[in-house]
Structure 1
Amino acid sequence: MIQYKDKTELIEAIKENYLLYDKEFNDIPENEKDLLKPGVDKSPSQNISYQLGWTRLLLQWESDEKKGITVQTPAPGYKWNNLGGLYETFYKEYGALSLHQQREILKNQVNEIVEWVETLDYETLFVPEQRKWATTPAKWPVWKWIHINAVAPFKNFRTQLRKWKKETGTE
């Protein structure tokens, strides 16, 4: 897995990969946002809904811990070994929105993540066990949670969107 030397490098990765991901939606017609294609896991709307759900959870975990609320990860009622139901809640919550609306929400959440990262010191971001919500048997530092829920999927899901566009003749 990639490593970041400091928060500036992490922030640049978030911004760069988000912008490339978001750009993939420019030529997807609104009336095709829910189309599923063979060999592609998600429709464009599901793809971005998934991102909206995870980035919201990431921000919620931090917000709740700061308020003294015990955080249940990934979300109340869901376990790490059975996330399908959680994904369905993301699709239901965001899927009725237009792609434009979904993109606006994601842009705002990404900006919020960047602002949050800017406030963190090196220890909080790069040393494990600095947040209760991030303390798991794997002992991941906060940066890794941000990478897994923002940078990596922005990069990986671009491939899915390009494959979807190729299947629809949009690309």
Structure 2
Amino acid sequence: MAVPNDKASLLTAIDANYIKLVADLARVPPERSRERSLPGHSTGTLISPADLVAYLIGWNELVLTWHHDRALGIEPEFPATGYTWSQLGELAQSFYRNCASESWAELLERLSAAESRIVALIDSMSNEELYAKPWYKKYTAGRMIQLNTASPYSNARGRIRKWLRSQHEPR
């Protein structure tokens, strides 16, 4: 899929990738959702399917926080308070910890809620607000949203599908 460059294509990319991801996540047995057997976001680490969903939740909620802060006239700390772009592995670990006590069903519901809020955010913005000017450094708001929603959904889907195949789960 091409990189979205307008509001309609951004919404389409998010929707298409999210629907496919959710279908594959539904195939994960809940009793295996905390099994650390997926390659992690940091080299040489293993994560669970639940950690992967926590990662998606973390980035989706960061996007929402960035926009909320900007709406209040506060410049967000990127990528997150207390983290630099060179500390993304540590940030991922914080996402896993923040969701460690949630059940598989709770994680999936939280991801669904975050995705719905992202769609509502996009719906509330004009095409010009999303793509006419840089929002963070050289990136437009639409590109920052896409980089932290549709793209990670697609990546996570690939990871989950590979994991499911390695578990001898039929397609």
SS at match of 1:83: helix
- Residue in structure 1 matched with residue 44 of structure 2 by the alignment: none
Q: 2:94 aligns with which of 65, 71, 89?
A: 89
How do 1:69-84 and structure 2 match up within 5 A?
69-84=74-89
Q: Secondary structure at the match of 1:77?
A: coil
Whole-Å Cα distance in 1 between the matches of residues 166 and 5 of structure 2?
Answer: 39
- Kept in 2, the 8 Å contact 1:36–1:43? The answer is yes
CA RMSD of aligned residues (A): 1.6
Cα deviation code 1:67-125 (max 9, x no counterpart):
12221011111000111111111001113211111111111111111111111112210
> Structure 1-normalised TM-score?
0.89
How does 1:58-73 map onto structure 2 within 5 Å?
58-73=63-78
**Deviations, residues 9-51 of structure 1 (Å, cap 9, x unaligned):** 211211111111111111211121121226x333201110000
Shift of 1:5: 4.7
1:6 Cα offset (Å):
2.6
Trace 1:150-161 onto structure 2 (pairs within 5 A): 150-161=149-160
Task: Give the partner amino acid of 2:163.
Answer: W
Paired residue type of 2:19: L
- 2:54 corresponds to which letter in structure 1? S
5 Å-filtered alignment, 1:13-162, equals 13-37=13-37, 40-41=39-40, 42-129=47-134, 134-136=135-137, 139-162=138-161
Instruction: Write 1 or 2 for the structure with the bigger share of strand.
Output: 2
Alpha-carbon distance in structure 1 between the residues aligned to 2:56 and 2:129? 24
Range with greater deviation from structure 2 (57-66 or 29-38):
29-38
The size of the alignment, in residue pairs, is 164
Uncovered stretches (5+) of structure 2, i.e. residues with no partner: 41-46
1:2 shift after superposition: 2.8
Q: Unaligned stretches of 5+ in structure 1?
A: none
Give the aligned partner of residue 7 of structure 1: 7
Other structure's SS at 1:101 match: helix
Identity of aligned residues (%): 28
- The answer to whether the Cα contact below 8 Å between 2:6 and 2:127 also exists between their aligned partners in 1 is yes
User: In structure 2, how many angstroms separate the alpha carbons of the residues matched to 1:115 and 1:105?
Assistant: 15
Aligned letter for 1:33? S
Does structure 1 retain, via aligned residues, the 8 Å contact 2:130–2:140? Answer: yes
Does the 8 Å CA contact 1:37/1:167 hold for their aligned counterparts? Answer: no
